[in-house]
Structure 1
């Protein structure tokens, strides 16, 4: 195995172009496990640790550009206001040591449906910035996941950054696991309210071959919020509407039975988390609007 250590982004792209099968190594929290258990033995590793630009973030107007290697610890401490859903998800990632090393780029690179960042990225409507020596492009997160542990990256491309809208409303994240730390999600759910557009988005993890949105549930509840004038009045939808929202969210799943949970349990849990995360987010929106002395419009 050859270990490549580019000192700049340009050198990293050149190395990936020269060795398309090379495996990028940033935080290493997934790659090193596979290497240690001999599940993968690539001919080349590309260590991205010296590429400083990958560990920086910036806000440009209403958008946050998050470097692929910004660790979860910094997302929690520096971006909880701009990216509250992702910050909440970051709190649930493994242990402090892993949160100090791992970043969102690793979750996207491995594209495991159980990655904790995916529901928040889907709910916020992120774009993934990828690059090669041929140029740079942005991939909407909805199009990024192409199969079980597969993504839209070309063989010579690397993930450079994630572009996320700064939150204009409350965002929530919920995860079911066998314990509170050091656990892979049985299933997870992210939700973001977008009061400026009077809509909401969702994200589901570990309940289908890829991370997915519950689009039918989103459309249904968006219609209810409009028809019942919830945005204007601040009233929450009725219990029947929330049950339907949960059922539609469950219907977006295509889970499997495995050692962490049954398919039936995952569907049930996603429905419960959908109702809960919306309720928490709606309550937070009301609190925020009352604090600002504004309506919910």
Structure 2
């Protein structure tokens, strides 16, 4: 197996154009598993670990541009306030060693339905920056996943960065597994409440051929929050509302039976964690009100 190791972004893009069959690798947390179990045997590896342009982040115009190879550990340590949902998900990924190597760009490149970074990216309305020698284009993350472990990248493209809007309200993430980390999720869910736009974003993981949003749940909840005056009052949400939201989320899933869980269990679990994450997120607004001495209407 040939090992290609560019040291600049321009060189990496040139090699990608010349050798589209080469498998990109940065942290290697997904790729090396495939190689070790002989599930993949590419003719070459395109090692991106020495490309400085792929790490770090910048903030501008209300969003964070996150380098594709920025490790999860630094997301947890540095972006918990502007990107709370993504930071929560990053905390649950693998072991400390994996969080020091793995990245959002790698998670997207693998395009696994169970990728933990995917639900908060969907809920937050992220876009993927894809680059090639031909130029750069942006892909809404909900259009990025095209099938099981397939994505919308062209053969000569690499992921340069992910642009994630800064949170304008509470966000939450939860996943179901045999333990909180170092496990592939049976199912996962993220919710993002945008107080300025008065909209709700969602992301479902490990319960369909691709990560997906729960559009009907988003529309239902935003409508109920408006009709009930909750956006203004921020009073506690009734159990009937959160349960209906959970039911909408469960209905949006298209799960399968496998060794980690049945389809029926996944739908039930999604409904439960959707209800819980919404309750946790909305409770943050109540804490803010009490902290500033405000009174609910």
Verify same fold: TM over 0.5.
yes
Displacement of 1:292 in angstroms is 4.2
Q: Secondary structure at the match of 1:261?
A: coil
Q: Deviations over 1:213-239 (max 9, x none)?
A: 111011001100000000111123322
Q: Secondary structure at the match of 2:77?
A: helix
Displacement of 1:71 in angstroms is 0.4
Unaligned runs of 5+ in 1: none
Does the 8 Å contact 2:25/2:31 carry over to 1?
yes
Unaligned runs of 5+ in 2: none
CA distance in structure 2 between the partners assigned to 1:112 and 1:146 by the alignment: 11
CA distance in structure 2 between the partners assigned to 1:85 and 1:295 by the alignment: 27
Q: Secondary structure at the match of 1:174?
A: strand
Do residues 132 (structure 1) and 132 (structure 2) align?
yes
| Alignment coverage as a number of residue pairs | 297
Alignment of 1:1-297 (within 5 A): 1-292=1-292
CA distance in structure 2 between the partners assigned to 1:113 and 1:292 by the alignment: 41
CA distance in structure 2 between the partners assigned to 1:268 and 1:24 by the alignment: 37
Cα distance change of structure 1 residues 131 and 295 upon mapping to structure 2, 3 Å threshold: farther
Displacement of 1:83 in angstroms is 0.6
CA distance in structure 2 between the partners assigned to 1:210 and 1:227 by the alignment: 32
Does the 8 Å contact 1:3/1:45 carry over to 2?
yes
CA distance in structure 2 between the partners assigned to 1:282 and 1:238 by the alignment: 11
Displacement of 1:44 in angstroms is 1.3
Does the 8 Å contact 1:113/1:210 carry over to 2?
yes
Cα distance change of structure 1 residues 74 and 295 upon mapping to structure 2, 3 Å threshold: farther
CA distance in structure 1 between the partners assigned to 2:212 and 2:296 by the alignment: 28
Displacement of 1:295 in angstroms is 7.8
CA distance in structure 1 between the partners assigned to 2:136 and 2:260 by the alignment: 38
CA distance in structure 1 between the partners assigned to 2:191 and 2:259 by the alignment: 27
Does the 8 Å contact 2:63/2:165 carry over to 1?
yes
CA distance in structure 2 between the partners assigned to 1:281 and 1:112 by the alignment: 26
Give the aligned CA root-mean-square deviation in angstroms: 1.3
Displacement of 1:294 in angstroms is 6.0
Displacement of 1:62 in angstroms is 1.0
Structure 1 runs, 4 residues or longer, greater than 2 Å off: 288-297
* TM-score, length of structure 2 as denominator length: 0.97
CA distance in structure 2 between the partners assigned to 1:49 and 1:70 by the alignment: 10
Q: Secondary structure at the match of 2:192?
A: strand
Q: Which moved more, 1:52-61 or 1:244-253?
A: 52-61
CA distance in structure 2 between the partners assigned to 1:27 and 1:296 by the alignment: 47
